[in-house]
Chains A and B, each alone.
Chain A
Amino acid sequence: MWSIIWNGLIVNPMTNLLLLLYDVLGNNFFLALIVFTALIRLAMLPLTMKQQRSMMKTQEMQPQVQAIQKKYKDDQAKMMEEFQKIGYNPAESLTGCLPLLIQMPIFFGLYRAILYVLSSTPQGLYELSERAYDFINLTDLLPVSNRALWLNLGQPDPIFILPVLVAATMYASQKLVAPKKDSTKTGEDNPAAAMQQQMQVTMPLMFGFFALQFPSGLSIYFIVSNLITTLQGIILRRNKESLKAEQAINNKGKSTQPASNKGQKDSTGARKTTKNTTTEKNRTNNKKGSQSRKKRKRG
């Protein structure tokens, strides 16, 4: 049963998509893998965008979060209540590895698909012929060329360039969306952030290590996928920054309005207020900042 679902929904569609792309892209498996990755990432775009936005939001909330954690460390219920008020969900602090987890079925499916498409034994080819959909003209497509640059795409990179690239691109993509390290805080002050920073290093190292054994084609999937994540992160960050700049201008204009109006707005929209007033300055001085916000809210 599991095998039918796994093959029917993951491995076989991927195998056929790869074959189709190989056919359309002039029998270039390297190119087919790159386009395949782009298509997969396009399909996952809403999910990954949401996740990256959430990560950035979490990153910005860290000063308030830490202040609340410190203040209500003996009152979990109150702490959660305060988190809710500022729109923070503690589970989101672990979403750094979410894209990787989402990609796991794709990763394992693609691993099998690459091995089937680049069948290196009659048994493998026989299985491929069983998996190919009717509209795929396997007779014309065979043999699928496994050569690209210095690589045999069905085997690991013999000169270890791809494993290094897998690790480097993964590190870059995670670094971009993860919270910036606060030099004034230790792991004890913020264990979740410390753990996330550990993950930023261990995950790329681990995947780089695994890439020593992956078929090169799979490493290419990871590299392209990481590059897309990085690009996505850069675009999101830029958008966020330009939005912030606009809001700063708006806030400046509003500061000329009567204080009573401003206070009213704050008391009815704490979430909005805390987001808009978070700056690098209060990141390093969060206690003070959060106390003043609390005062405003109470007032």
Chain B
Amino acid sequence: MKEKTRPSTRLSILIIALLAFLMVGCGVQVGADNWAGMSSDGDIVYLAWGNEVTAIDIDSQRRVWSFPPDSGAVKFFAAPSFGDGSLLLADYGESKGLFSPGVNTSVYAINPDNGTLIWRSQEVASDRIIASPLAADGQIFVGTAENTVIALDGNGNTQWTQETEHAVWGQPSYEDGVVVVASMDKHVYAFDASSGDQLWREPVSGAAASKPVIDNGRVYVGSFDAKLHALDLQTGKELWTADANDWIWNAPVINDGNIYFADASGGVYAVDADDGGLVWEQQFDEADAIEAAVVVDGGMVYVPVVRGVSTDDEQAGRIVALAADNGVQQWEVPLAGPSFTTPVIADGKLVVAQQNKEVALTLTIIDPADGKKELEKTVDEIINGDQ
């Protein structure tokens, strides 16, 4: 009889071990990641991706520094932003402990020259900070996935906290003592910067995942309702909307009286900032998508286009340059992987970060005049190249 049961016992142990292995594996995946965040001060590119933020000098194509010096447990995906002589970072949080679902997220001010820590404000929120912090008039404003907007002083001390109904994924905007935030709860909020009092709350008919842009007393915000909304900064009243064909994932760009934005079906639009009238529209292939914001510089609109975004398709990407005045295509550069990160201009070059599940984060440096690739290297190769 014993001989008969042994295989069964082994089978049971095997089943339990398999379940344990698979479920522990699942648990590890609970903390979802995101795409890299990138910014530039004109010469240096700051890249937030995974366990560190890396400063890369575009001219020498070398790493300047990495923060934290010893790659830590927290992750950074929000694009670094610029404070008063500092670089502001926000992380995805540190676990509160074994089996505790929450995280403690921090905001950091570091020295942009050498990456040393100036201050760290801990326990800012209990959920991820997706959006970049915004520094304005001696304050720092942070939107969190914990459905809050937080104001810190210049040293990282909390001044006020306001709630939204859902997560804030876009960087706040500021003008004349008013902080404006777009939320995934399909509303745009305005708060008094010093007191935190809510000034107005305006509904839009879709979730808003991006930064609202303020210009000339107006707030422009793209939404998943496939519309660009123009609101009055003082009252929140909707002034006009401009139609797109699909979700607008990222912030519009204002340049020379026009507003440029893109949608998730490969559409790029230029509309008049005064009345939302269409100036031009460029529609790429149906299979194309644009998630990152467009970059407008030197009379050109640079568009990071993603192809084959379906989870089962092979992903690819390309950068397309359009003339800012009429939308006519100037050049196109294929990329090894899709680019979900908004490109930046640094040292006169267009810097593009591309990544997918198989390809490591790769930086491509492109001459914006003709689209010629000057460098295409993984970030690891750039980092290891200086050792």
Interface of A with B (CB < 8 Å)? 3-4, 7-8, 69-70, 73, 76, 90, 93-94, 97, 100-101, 104, 108, 111, 115, 119-127, 129-131, 138-139, 142-143, 145, 152, 155-158, 160, 191-192, 195, 199, 202-203, 206, 210, 212-215
Contact B206 A139 (CB under 8 A): yes
Which B residues touch A73, using CB under 8 A? Answer: 1
Please report the total number of B residues contacting A with Cβ < 8 Å: 54
Complex: A142 Cα to B2 Cα, angstroms: 58
Contact B30 A213 (CB under 8 A): yes
Which A residues touch B101, using CB under 8 A? Answer: 152, 155-158
Stretch with Cβ within 8 A of A (4 or more), from B20-28, B47-55, B57-65? B20-28
Q: A122-B35, A130-B309, A212-B99 are in contact. List 16 more A-B contacts (CB 8 A).
A: A4-B312, A7-B312, A100-B19, A101-B15, A104-B22, A120-B128, A121-B32, A122-B34, A122-B209, A122-B249, A127-B311, A139-B206, A152-B101, A192-B8, A210-B24, A214-B26
| Partner among A123, A131, A191 whose Cβ is within 8 Å of the Cβ of B9 | A191
Specify the chain B residue showing the minimal Cβ separation from A125.
Answer: B209
Contact B22 A108 (CB under 8 A): yes
Contact B1 A130 (CB under 8 A): no
Which A residues touch B38, using CB under 8 A? Answer: none
Which A residues touch B12, using CB under 8 A? Answer: 94, 97, 195, 199
What are some 11 contacts across the A-B interface (CB < 8 A)? A3-B311, A93-B8, A115-B30, A120-B127, A121-B32, A130-B310, A142-B224, A210-B20, A212-B99, A213-B23, A214-B26
- A8, A124, A129, A212 — which one has the most chain B CB atoms within 10 A of its CB? A129
Complex: A111 Cα to B29 Cα, angstroms: 10
Contact A191 B5 (CB under 8 A): yes
Which A residues touch B32, using CB under 8 A? Answer: 115, 119-121, 123-124
Secondary structure call for the B interface: loop
Contact with A along B229-253 (1 / 0, CB 8 A): 0000000000000000001010000
Contact A69 B1 (CB under 8 A): yes
Contact B15 A126 (CB under 8 A): no
Which B residues touch A3, using CB under 8 A? Answer: 311-312
Which B residues touch A215, using CB under 8 A? Answer: 30
Contact A206 B19 (CB under 8 A): yes
Contact of B169 with A by CB under 8 A: yes
